[in-house]
Amino acid sequence: MDPTLALELCRFSHGASLMLLWGACAYLCFLVPSALADIVWRMSAGPFFLITVIAALTTLISLPAATAIIGSGWNDGLDIGTIRDVLIDTSVGRAWQAQAVAAALMISAFLLPESRRRLGLALASGLGLAALSLTGHASMLEGWLRQAHRANDIFHVLTGGAWLGALVPLILILKLLGRPECRADALLALRRFSTAGHWAVALVILSGVVNTMLILKQLPTDWSSPYQRLLAIKIALVAGMALLAIVNRYLFVPWMSRNPGRALQALRLGSIAEIVIGVAVIGLVAVFGMMEPV
C-alpha cells in the first residue's frame, strides 16, 4: 500500500475514533443523569473498548507511514534508525509522542473503577483530539498567529467531536425512552442534548469559518484547487448536518406528543444520518489535511 494512502486511512480511523469516544463519553459524564449513563455505558462498553483499540493501533501504524512519506518509502518507514530520527528530530515525531501518550491513557482508562472509566476515557480522548492540532496547518505560521490558529483547531475538533460523538449514546437513549424506569432521565438527557447541541453546532461553524480565513484568507471558491474543492465539499456536508439537526429538533421532537412511535423512528434515522455525514467529513479532512492549502 502507498504510504500516503496508509497515513490517510490512519488519520481517518484515528480521528473518527477519538471524536466518537470524546463526544459519547463527555455527554454521558456531564449531561446524562448518572443512573441512565450507567445503563448506556454497560450497553456500549464493549464497542467503546474496540474503538479505543482502533485508536491505539492507528497511532502505532501512523508513525512508520509518516516516516515512509518523509523518507524514501517503506524501506525507510520500517527502518528503526530512521523512525527514531523522525520521532526525536521532527515536529511530526513530537506530535506522535503526544498521540501515543493519549492512546496509553485511553487504554489505561479501562483499568479505572467502573464509575470513573467514562470520565477517564473522555479526558484521554479529548487530549488526543487536542494533540491533532500539532500536525495541522497552524504549523505553517509563526508566533502568536500559530498559537491562535492551533487553539482554534483544538476548539473546532472538540466541539465537532462533542456534537458527533454524543449522537451515538443519544440513539441508545431514544430506545430507552420506552422503559418506564428510564423515561424521566431519558427526557432530561434529550433536553440537555438539545440545548448543548445548539451551542456545539454554532461553535463548530464559527471555528470552521475562522480556520478557513486563517488558512486561505478567502472562501474556498477555486475549484481547480484540490484542497479548496475538498474543503468546499466538507463545508457543504457540515451544512447538511446542521440542517438535519434543525429538522430533528424542530420537526421531529414536536411530533413526540402526537405520534411518539413515528417521531422516535424519525429521530433515530436522522441521528444515524448525521453520524454518517460526520464520518464522511472526517474522511475528507484526513485527505485534504495533508495537502498544500492553496
189-202 pLDDT, tens digit each: 999 998 898 899 89
Q: List CB contacts of 92: < 8 A, sequence separation 6 or more.
A: 66, 70, 86, 135
Q: Do 3 and 40 meet the contact criterion of CB atoms below 8 Å apart?
A: no
- The label of the residue with cell 502505532 reads 60
- Mean pLDDT, the chain, as a whole number? 89
Q: Is the pLDDT of residue 30 over 70?
A: yes
Task: Return the pLDDT at 14.
Answer: 95
Q: Is the pLDDT of residue 168 over 90?
A: yes
Q: Do 98 and 134 meet the contact criterion of CB atoms below 8 Å apart?
A: yes
Query: Which pLDDT band, with edges at 50, 70 and 90, does 23 fall under?
Result: very high
Query: Which pLDDT band, with edges at 50, 70 and 90, does 78 fall under?
Result: confident
- The label of the residue with cell 476548539 reads 155
Task: Return the pLDDT at 140.
Answer: 65
> String of b and e for 274-290 (b: at least 16 CB within 10 Å)?
bbebbeebbbbbbbbbe
Task: Return the pLDDT at 193.
Answer: 92
Q: Do 280 and 237 meet the contact criterion of CB atoms below 8 Å apart?
A: yes
Task: Return the pLDDT at 255.
Answer: 79
Q: Do 168 and 23 meet the contact criterion of CB atoms below 8 Å apart?
A: yes
Distance CA 75, CA 63 (A): 13
Task: Return the pLDDT at 144.
Answer: 76
236-282 pLDDT, tens digit each: 999 999 998 888 888 887 777 777 788 888 889 999 999 999 999 99
- Using left for φ > 0, alpha for ψ between -120 and 50, and beta otherwise, residue 73 falls in left
211-241 pLDDT, tens digit each: 888 888 888 888 888 989 999 999 999 999 9
98-147 pLDDT, tens digit each: 999 999 999 999 999 988 999 999 999 999 999 988 876 656 666 777 78
CA 242-247-252 angle, to 5 degrees, is 145
